[in-house]
């Protein structure tokens, strides 16, 4: 890695930690400069604007998600095995990745009522993730693993619902059965669509 | 209503609007005083501390939830009809109540990693709501509407998952099929536990 890329990586990593703790809207180039020990003008050189920084932080987290959750799942056989691997990878990743909280979930809540580029980007990233599940489901259909009349969007919605509920049950509620409930619900969704 | 109670109601209502737009952590007695046109010291007289104000705002929103979602459902026959009415009341209420965003969901995300009284209260209120669904499910069991071996906590988790997913699909993603997916998922959950 060149020095420039490594510096950017360090900055984005710190920015992501701050986002995880305080949310994306509170993220400022000034505060970030303090945290990484750089000048504000030096950071402006990297990111140009707060909005650009926010979007790059989201992309940085999304890239990590892709590397940890999606790509390892592609080693599994096409269709349902991949979808199942995505769920298991995600559960592991979501539990270990951020101490502060999920940067995506906090951005969803912060930006769902704030029109603009950041909101559009939060939306795009969620749609991309849900799209990965839907694609795995369409492949499952091609491979005759699920019934041909399955409503793919509905199944994607249910899979997504399970992830968000698990996140809240395990983190806020500290429910010791969260893992079991997540798995039971996922199995139930799959059983309901399987051939 | 006495003048004192009416003033408090006005203040809490404004505080809730601010929370819905900017989150509970950003809520300050100073900003709130500006918004309602009162002195900061006058507001301190009502709420004593920021933390107390935050907890009262949550309770104010929870009281509204109880009035609009739970109580009207009690007119329905015991068990599943009540649970179904709660879901329909909630969907109507959640869509019309707050322009900024759900004050509970934003508090969940803000406080899941911040130990203290506010977090404990957010947790208590979510557990209370989920407890209402679980109670309706236990009654459904007593009335022989659902199978005796149904895992009540699991069903409560799935019902909760559906609500959060609907909220995100309808608000952030603007998915025009959110209503249909919410209802289909709820029906599926009920079908899976019915006798």
Q: Are A29 and A53 in contact (CB under 8 A)?
A: yes
Percent of chain A with pLDDT over 90: 78
Please judge whether B101 and A123 are an interchain contact, meaning their C-beta atoms are less than 8 angstroms apart.
no
- Is B192 in CB contact (< 8 Å) with chain A? yes
Instruction: Produce one character per residue of B63-87: b if its CB has 16 or more CB atoms within 10 Å, e if not.
Output: ebbeebbbeebeeeeebbbbbbbbb
Give the number of beta-carbon pairs within 8 Å between A and B: 106
Domains of chain B by start residue, with CATH = 57-193 (1.10.357.10)
For chain A, how big is the Rg over CA atoms in Å? 19
Spatial separation of the C-alpha atoms in residues A32 and A61, rounded to whole Å: 17
Spatial separation of the C-alpha atoms in residues A75 and A86, rounded to whole Å: 11
Q: Which residues of chain A are within 8 Å of residue B113 when distances are taken between CB atoms?
A: 21, 99-101, 171
Q: Which residues of chain B are within 8 Å of residue A159 when distances are taken between CB atoms?
A: none
Which of B110, B157, B163, B186 to probe the A interface (max A CBs under 10 A)? Answer: B157
Quote ipTM for the complex.
Answer: 0.94
> What pLDDT, on the 0 to 100 scale, is given for residue B1?
63
> What pLDDT, on the 0 to 100 scale, is given for residue A46?
84
Spatial separation of the C-alpha atoms in residues B28 and B38, rounded to whole Å: 13
Cβ within 8 Å of B, A 102-121: 102, 105-106, 108-113, 119
pLDDT mean for each 10 residues of chain A (195 residues) = 81 92 88 92 88 95 95 97 97 81 91 93 97 97 97 98 96 95 98 96
pLDDT tens digits in sequence order for chain B, 195 residues long: 677 778 888 999 999 999 988 889 889 888 899 999 999 998 888 888 999 999 999 999 999 999 999 999 999 999 999 999 999 999 999 887 777 788 999 999 999 889 999 999 999 999 999 999 999 999 999 999 999 999 999 999 999 999 999 999 999 999 999 999 999 999 999 999 999
> What pLDDT, on the 0 to 100 scale, is given for residue B26?
87
Q: How far is A86 from chain B (nearest CA, A)?
A: 19
């Amino acid at each position: 890695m060149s020095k420039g890329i490594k510096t950017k990586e360090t900055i984005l990593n710190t920015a992501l930690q701050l986002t995880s703790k305080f949310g994306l809207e509170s993220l400022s180039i000034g505060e970030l400069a303090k945290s990484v020990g750089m000048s504000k003008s030096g950071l402006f050189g990297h990111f140009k604007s707060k909005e650009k920084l926010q979007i790059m932080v989201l992309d940085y987290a999304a890239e990590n998600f892709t590397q940890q959750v999606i790509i390892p799942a592609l080693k599994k056989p096409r269709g349902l095995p991949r979808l199942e691997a995505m769920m298991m990878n995600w559960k592991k990743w979501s539990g270990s990745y951020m101490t502060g909280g999920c940067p995506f979930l906090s951005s969803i809540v912060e930006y769902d009522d704030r029109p603009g580029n950041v909101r559009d980007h939060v939306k795009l990233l969620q749609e991309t993730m849900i799209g990965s599940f839907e694609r795995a489901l369409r492949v499952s259909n091609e491979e005759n693993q699920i019934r041909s009349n399955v409503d793919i969007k509905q199944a994607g919605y249910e899979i997504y619902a399970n992830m968000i509920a698990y996140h809240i049950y395990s983190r806020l509620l500290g429910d010791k059965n969260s893992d079991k409930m997540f798995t039971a619900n996922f199995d139930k969704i799959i059983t309901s669509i399987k051939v």
